[in-house]
Structure 1
Amino acid sequence: MSICDDTLLCNFPKCRAKLSAFAWVTACSHVFCDQHGSEKFSRSPVICPACSSALSGKLDIVRMELSPSEEYKAMVLTGLRPDIVLDISSRALAFWSYQVHQERIYQEYSLSRAESQLKQMEKMLTQQNQSRELELTALKGEIASLKKMMDEYKRNYSEVSEKLMQRNRQYQKLQGLYDSLRIITMKDIHQPPVFHSGVARHATPQRSPPFLSLGPEGDSRFLSALEADGGKTFFQFSSPGRDKCRPFIRKH
């Protein structure tokens, strides 16, 4: 039975449907919908699905019409003594109060179970939040380390780029020097010879080595070069002996 209205609910544990039209009422103060009452009470022995009580009496199970007609209301208690009418009414009210009490107990049980589930969910949520905070802290630390590495890579990249630019400038300078020297060399090679008094000479005379230059400095350089290479042995010749030359002279 719902607390907000005055409608009975089926006492079958898996049903809990609102009752309308017809209902099955038991002597143990339980009520069931027409579907489950017809299914459960058609078997033998008859047992209450709510409290497992045996219902062997003839009037232990009654199929009642929940919305009786006005004629039925006018005739059902007609002719009975007032005390019997009051007794019947008190028993009907006791049945109704029992249903209300059972519904309140069921709602309290459902509320306590929902509260326990809520506490468990809150506990799980707290644990998940703590784990997420730990993961977030670890991720923040990892992000900070990655940012530090990225800054270091950027600094290294800028240094390498600057060095590369310097190398490129040096390369361009060397390339320019090489091109100029190559052009000068090609001009010297392709320049035609100049003729003086019947002798062909190149326009640019070749320079003699430094140690063959004229003058006192040239002589000293020449002598020093000879001394370094063994000048004494250079001007000394040993004539071969006569005995050694004789075998080469043929006699006719």
Structure 2
Amino acid sequence: MALCDDTLLCNFPKCRIKLCGFAWVTACSHAFCDQHGSGEFSHSPVICPACSSALSGKMDIVRTELSPSEEYKAMVLAGLRPEVVLDISTRALAFWSYQIHQERLYQEYSLSRAEVQIKQLEKMLNQQNQSRELDLGAMRGEITSLRKVMEEYKRKYSEVAERLMERNRQYQKLQGLYDSLRLRNMTVGERDTPARHAHHPVGPAGVFRHASSPRVSPPFLAMGPKGDSSSSSLFTCLEPDIPTTFFNFRSPAKERGRPFPQNQ
């Protein structure tokens, strides 16, 4: 704030608006806007809201116009001795210098608080950036592993696809062979059908008559002692419980030791 700048700020905490019109000034060199000055200085005891100083004197608080008229300027110091005018001007300039100094201190305090907050925010930002970098590195590693898994699956898929294509080719080949064999068998069957009808004549009821097979010779008969067939019987074994094999096949027990009969 420069000396030529005629703008003052309200010294009430959390106000800090530019003073215009009327303002309240105190003997402790503080200035307040008309709203807060009227509210704070309307009850007793009167305490300065900026420095908590007691303002009990009659001239400790003055409500002044910041932009006085020309008539007021011409008459406010008229008739006063030069040293009084200089003393009043010196005190007025001291009030203004104090306001500038206080404003500079306030700005420095605000700047220091802002710097502290900026440092805290930068620290928090660095911590968050580090955590994000760690998370990003973990995600990159996971993406790399997933890419490897995806490449492995792609390789397996290509192998399976090649196997499937090979199986399909084999299946098509076998299907072609099967179709050709079926057609060949159908052709051979159609050629053999007339020959079968010629060898197997059809009977009256439409049934094929099979050719008579040669008569089977009767089984061998065991001849009796006289050589006749009246006492002959089938050549069997008297012990049915014993399995009939080549080694235990024998004649009845009664005829053991008899000579084999001869036909006369």
For the aligned pair, the TM-score class normalised by the smaller chain equals 0.7 to 0.9
Partner of 2:236: none
Whole-Å separation in 2 of the counterparts to 1:153 and 1:168: 22
Q: Which amino acid aligns with 1:74?
A: A
Whole-Å separation in 1 of the counterparts to 2:14 and 2:159: 77
Q: Which amino acid aligns with 2:111?
A: L
After TM superposition, the score normalised by the length of structure 2 is: 0.72
TM-aligned CA distance change 1:47 to 1:135, over 3 Å: same
- Secondary structure class of the residue paired with 1:55: coil
Partner of 2:77: 77
Unmatched 5+ stretches in structure 1: 202-231, 244-252
After TM superposition, the score normalised by the length of structure 1 is: 0.75
- Secondary structure class of the residue paired with 2:14: coil
Whole-Å separation in 2 of the counterparts to 1:118 and 1:136: 25
Shift of 1:26: 0.8
Whole-Å separation in 2 of the counterparts to 1:195 and 1:174: 32
- Checking the alignment, whether the CA contact within 8 Å between 1:77 and 1:85 is kept in structure 2 is yes
Partner of 2:154: 154
Unmatched 5+ stretches in structure 2: 202-244, 256-264
- Secondary structure class of the residue paired with 1:5: coil
TM-aligned CA distance change 1:176 to 1:130, over 3 Å: same
Whole-Å separation in 2 of the counterparts to 1:167 and 1:15: 88
Whole-Å separation in 1 of the counterparts to 2:5 and 2:84: 29
Structure 2 matches for 1:48-197, cutoff 5 A? Answer: 48-191=48-191, 192-194=193-195
Whole-Å separation in 2 of the counterparts to 1:125 and 1:99: 38
Q: Which amino acid aligns with 1:112?
A: S
TM-aligned CA distance change 1:176 to 1:52, over 3 Å: same
1:181-207 deviation per Cα after TM superposition (whole angstroms, max 9, x unaligned)? 2222223334432279x7449xxxxxx
Q: Which amino acid aligns with 2:88?
A: I
Whole-Å separation in 2 of the counterparts to 1:156 and 1:46: 90
1:1-58 deviation per Cα after TM superposition (whole angstroms, max 9, x unaligned)? x458331111011111111111001111110011111111112222111111121221
Q: 1 or 2 for the larger relative contact order (CA 8 Å, sep ≥6)? A: 1
- Checking the alignment, whether the CA contact within 8 Å between 1:28 and 1:53 is kept in structure 2 is yes
1:74-109 deviation per Cα after TM superposition (whole angstroms, max 9, x unaligned)? 111111122221211111111111111101100111
Q: Which amino acid aligns with 2:195?
A: V
1:216-241 deviation per Cα after TM superposition (whole angstroms, max 9, x unaligned)? xxxxxxxxxxxxxxxx94xx987778
Q: Which amino acid aligns with 2:150?
A: M
**Pair member with larger Rg:** 2
Whole-Å separation in 2 of the counterparts to 1:49 and 1:122: 35
Whole-Å separation in 2 of the counterparts to 1:78 and 1:193: 157
Identity %: 74
Whole-Å separation in 1 of the counterparts to 2:196 and 2:70: 155
Structure 2 matches for 1:23-62, cutoff 5 A? Answer: 23-62=23-62
- Checking the alignment, whether the CA contact within 8 Å between 1:193 and 1:200 is kept in structure 2 is no
Whole-Å separation in 2 of the counterparts to 1:199 and 1:108: 130
